[in-house]
Structure 1
Amino acid sequence: MAFPDIQSFMSLLESRGELLRVSAPVSRDLEITEIADRLVKKGGPAVLFENVVGSDFPLLIGALGTRERVALALGVDDLDDLAAKVNHLIDLKGSGGVRGLLGNIPKLGDAMNLPPRRVRSAPVQEVVWRGDEVDLDKIPVLKCWPEDGGPFVTLPLVITRDPETGERNMGMYRMQVMSRNTTGMHWQRHKTGTRHLEKAKAHGERLPVAVAIGGDPALIYAATAPLPPIPGLDEFALAGYLRGQRYPVVKGVTVDLDVPANAEFILEGYVDPQEDWVVEGPFGDHTGFYTLPDLYPLFHVTAVTMRRNPVYPATIVGRPPMEDAYLIEASERLFLPAAQLIIPEIVDYHMPPAGVAHNLVVVSIHKEFPGQAYKVANGLFGLGQMMNAKVIVVVDAEVKVNDMDAVWREVTQKALPGRDTLTTRGPIDVLDHSSRGWGYGGKLIIDATTKRPEEIGSGVSSREDQADDVVPEAFRPQATAELPTFPGVLAQRQTEDGYWYVALDKTGAGQARALAEAFAAHPAAAGVRHLLICDEQTDVQDAGDVWWTVLNNIDAERDVWVLDTPGGGRLLAWDGARKLPSEGFVREWPPKIVMDPAVQARVDRLWNVYGLPERWR
Structure 2
Amino acid sequence: MPLSGIKYFIEELRARGDILSISTPLDPKYEISAFLSEIGKKDAPAILFEKVKGHRLPVVGNLLGTRRRLSLALGIDPDKLFEEFPKRMGKGIAPVLTRDASPKVVAKKGKGVDLTKLLPVLTHYAGDSGPYITSGFSSARDPETGGIGRGLHRMEMRGKNRLGISLLNPPLAEIYGKYKRMRRRMEIATVIGMDPLIFLASILKAPAGVDKLSIAGGIRGKAVPMAKAENIDLEIPAFAEIVIEGFIDPKGKEEDGVLGESSGYYMGFSKSPTIQVIAITFRKKPLYHAIVPWSLEVDNLLYLVHGLDFVPKMKREIPSIREVRLIPGTFGSHAVISLDTENRGEIRRALSLALSFTNIKKVIAVNTDINIQDDQELEWALATRFQADKDLMVMTNLRGQPIDPSSGDGFLTAKMGLDATKPRLKGFEKVGVPEGVKKRITPVLQKFVKGR
TM-score, length basis structure 1: 0.60
**SS class of match (2:10):** helix
1:216 and 2:191 aligned: no
1:469-488 to structure 2, matched below 5 A, reads none
Match for residue 177 of structure 1 among 157, 168, 171: 157
1:199 partner SS: helix
CA distance in 2, matches of 1:347, 1:165: 45
For residues 72-122 of structure 1, give each alpha carbon's deviation from its aligned partner in whole angstroms, at most 9, with x where no partner exists: 22223x4223234236558xxxxxxxxxxxxxxxxxxx93x6211112445
Residue 297 of structure 2, aligned match among 302, 319, 323? 323
Q: Give 1:278 shift.
A: 0.3
Question: After the TM superposition, which residues 382-393 of structure 1 pair with which residues of structure 2 at under 5 Å, given as runs?
Answer: 387=358, 389=359, 391-393=361-363
Does the residue aligned with 1:44 lie in a helix, a strand or coil? coil
Q: 1:434 aligned to 392, 401, 406, which one?
A: 406
Cα drift, residue 135 of structure 1: 1.6
Of the candidates 307, 315, 327, which is equivalent to residue 352 of structure 1?
Answer: 327
What does residue 44 of structure 2 align with? 44
Q: In the alignment, is residue 448 of structure 1 matched against residue 419 of structure 2? A: yes
Aligned partner (choices 198, 207, 222) of residue 229 of structure 1: 207
Return the TM-score normalized by structure 2: 0.79
Give the secondary structure class of the aligned counterpart of 2:40. Answer: helix
Q: 1:259 Cα shift?
A: 0.8
Higher relative contact order (CA 8 A, sep 6+): 2
Work out which of the two has the higher radius of gyration on C-alpha atoms and give 1 or 2.
1
- Secondary structure of the 1:171 match is strand
State the match for 1:146 in structure 2.
126
SS in 2 for 1:306: strand
- Residue aligned with 2:124, SS: coil
Q: Which residue of 1 aligns with 2:79?
A: 80
CA shift at 1:67, angstroms?
2.5
Residue in 1 that maps onto 2:274? 298
Match of 1:114 among 93, 100, 103: 93
Q: Secondary structure at the match of 1:353?
A: coil
User: Is 1:238 aligned to 2:215, yes or no?
Assistant: yes
Change beyond 3 A, Cα 1:423–1:161 = farther
Q: Which amino acid aligns with 2:393?
A: T
Which amino acid in the other structure matches residue 290 of structure 1? Y
Q: 1:430 to 1:191 in 2, by over 3 A?
A: farther
Q: How many angstroms apart in 1 are the aligned matches of 2:51 and 2:125?
A: 20
Matches of 2:80 and 2:391, distance apart in 1: 38
Please give the secondary structure, in 2, of the residue aligned with 1:304: strand
Give the direction of change, closer, same or farther, for the CA distance of 1:377–1:61 in structure 2 (3 Å limit).
closer
Question: What is the CA deviation profile of residues 49-71 of structure 1, one whole-angstrom value per residue up to 9, with x for unaligned ones?
Answer: 22222222221122222232222
Deviation at 1:263, TM superposition (A): 0.7
* Alpha-carbon shift at residue 203 of structure 1 (Å): 3.2
Decide whether the 8 Å contact of 1:425 with 1:442 is kept in 2: yes
Distance 1:15 1:410, change over 3 A: closer
User: Structure 1: which 5+ residue stretches go unaligned?
Assistant: 91-109, 382-386, 452-470, 477-617
Q: Does 1:30 align with 2:9?
A: no
Q: Is contact 1:3–1:217 with CA below 8 Å preserved after alignment?
A: no
Counterpart residue identity of residue 266, structure 1: V
Question: Which residue does 2:112 correspond to in 1?
Answer: 133
Report SS of the residue matched to 1:229.
coil
Instruction: Give the corresponding residue for 1:105.
Output: none
Per the alignment, residue 156 of structure 1 pairs with 136
Q: Deviations over 1:503-562 (max 9, x none)?
A: xxxxxxxxxxxxxxxxxxxxxxxxxxxxxxxxxxxxxxxxxxxxxxxxxxxxxxxxxxxx
Q: Give the gaps of 5 or more residues in structure 2.
A: 429-452
2-structure distance, mates of 1:354, 1:68: 17
Q: Contact 1:278 / 1:296 at 8 angstroms: preserved in 2? A: yes
Quote the residue 1:289 is aligned against. Answer: 265
Secondary structure class of the residue paired with 2:75: coil
The alignment partner of 1:80 has SS state of helix
Q: What is the Cα deviation at residue 158 of structure 1?
A: 2.2
Secondary structure of the corresponding residue to residue 37 of structure 1: helix
Please report how far the alpha carbon of residue 156 of structure 1 lies from its aligned counterpart in structure 2 after TM superposition.
1.2
Amino acid at match of 1:352: I
Aligned residues: 421
Letter in 1 for 2:120: P
Matched residue, 1:314: 290
Q: How far apart are the structure 1 equivalents of 2:249 and 2:315?
A: 41
- Matched AA of 1:229: P
Structure 1 distance, partners of 2:338, 2:184, is 48
Aligned partner of 2:11 in structure 1 is 11
In the alignment, is the contact (CA less than 8 A) between 2:187 and 2:248 conserved in 1?
Answer: yes
SS class of match (1:41): coil
- Give the % identical residues: 28
1-structure distance, mates of 2:102, 2:57 = 16
Matches for 1:199-278 after TM superposition, within 5 Å: 199-225=178-204, 227=205, 229=207, 232=210, 234-278=211-255
Residues 1:337 and 1:36: Cα distance change in structure 2 (over 3 Å): closer
- 1:28–1:366 distance in 2 versus 1, CA, 3 Å: same
Root-mean-square deviation over aligned CA pairs: 3.6
CA distance in 2, matches of 1:205, 1:417: 61
* AA at the equivalent of 1:57: L
Please give the alpha-carbon distance, in whole angstroms, between the structure 1 residues aligned to 2:160 and 2:167: 21
Partners in 2 of 1:410 and 1:167 — Cα distance? 52
Which residue identity does 2:85 align to in structure 1?
V
> Kindly tell me: are residues 420 and 146 of structure 1, through their superposed partners in 2, closer, same or farther at Cα, counting changes over 3 Å?
closer
Letter in 2 for 1:434: S
- After TM superposition, give the deviation of residue 333 of structure 1 in Å: 5.8
Structure 1 counterpart of 2:439: none
Deviation at 1:310, TM superposition (A): 1.2
Deviations 1:203-258 (A, max 9, x none): 33333322110111111222223x353763x4212321332311011232333332
1:246 counterpart SS class? coil
CA distance in 2: counterparts of 1:291 and 1:378, whole angstroms: 25
CA contact (8 A) 1:251 1:258 kept: yes
- The aligned counterpart of 1:605 is none
Counterpart of 2:354? 377
For the 8 Å contact 1:28–1:143, the answer to whether it is kept is yes
For residue 71 of structure 1, give the secondary structure of its aligned residue in structure 2.
helix
> For structure 1, which segment, 127-136 or 246-255, has the greater mean C-alpha deviation from structure 2 after superposition?
127-136
Question: Is the CA contact 1:2–1:75 (under 8 Å) kept in the aligned structure 2?
Answer: no
Which residue of the partner structure matches residue 423 of structure 1?
395
1:159 is matched by which residue type in structure 2?
S
